[in-house]
Amino acid sequence: MSPLKVLIIEDDLNICELITLYIEKQGHIAIVANEGEDGLIKFYDDQPDFVILDIMLPKVDGWEVCKEIRSENSVIPIIMLTGMGESYDKIRGLDLGADDYIVKPFDPNELIARMKAVLRRTNGLVDESENIEWPSLSINMKEFKVFIGGREVTMPPKELELLYFFTSHPNQVFSRLQLLDQIWGYDFDGDPRTIDVHVKRLREKLGQPTSKWALKTIRGVGYKFEVDVSD
């Protein structure tokens, strides 16, 4: 793998030093910011390949940093660091577009392993991707774009990956755990309600179901992308 530029946005200097050490041991380049505002400046100026982002930051917190990065339609992988164990905080980070999270205190080897897992998932998705076309719905994963009724609709990476997975497997029913495994990875230990949040957002953006397809809830089981194949 070519060296990556990894932006570490963390106000604890000891944690920054530890993460930097492990990042550089992997042959990557560490860029450090100790405030959210400075982190955004370095994001724009240095154009990193990966972001490790603390939630509790001075001036501009991690939620806002993540939101701004994703508002730029950036698909850069983001792992959030948090001292909070509540499922709401984890779901909020993932809903804003983070790819994974890790709770402090953590083993830096686990952080490196999670980085590699995120890179495998995101790189594998793009390498295997192709355009998906359904009536009034078009998905281009190489450019990370989705068009509904001919209009481009912005989606965070995880929403788009979930939609791509559904539309790639029409009329197949998937449980929440299966979807977590496919999109977030087998080692994700978050709340299955994460899927419900993302499906709700997808439905809001997809609008009213067409006569040809709909994102359906299968009560007691999970979800499926139902397609009319009668023609």
Q: pLDDT per position in the chain (231 positions), as tens?
A: 578 899 999 999 999 999 999 999 989 999 999 999 999 999 999 999 999 999 989 889 999 999 899 887 677 889 999 876 655 666 677 777 788 888 888 888 889 888 887 887 666 544 444 678 888 899 887 777 889 888 888 887 778 888 988 998 889 999 988 888 777 764 555 566 778 888 998 998 888 766 789 899 998 889 999 987 655
Give the SS3 label for residue 84.
coil
Q: Which domains does the chain have, with CATH numbers?
A: 5-126 (3.40.50.2300), 130-227 (1.10.10.10)
Overall pTM > 0.85: no
177 neighbors 77 (Cβ within 8 angstroms)? no
Q: Is 142 in contact with 185 (CB distance < 8 Å)?
A: no
The two tokens of residue 203 are 């439905």
Which tokens in the block code for residue 134? 């359904």
| CA angle, 189 then 2 then 158, to 5° | 35
112-115 CB contacts, 8 Å cutoff, 24+ apart: 112/22, 112/23, 112/26, 114/79, 114/187, 115/6, 115/50, 115/52, 115/77, 115/79
Burial of 194 (0-12, 13-18, 19+ CB in 10 A): buried
Cα–Cα distances in Å, from 106 out to 39, 54, 92, 131, 208? 22, 13, 20, 39, 43
- 207 Rama sector, left if φ>0, alpha if ψ -120 to 50, beta otherwise: left
Sign of torsion over alpha carbons 153, 155, 157, 159: negative
- Cβ-Cβ contacts under 8 Å for 145 (sequence gap 6 or more): 139, 152
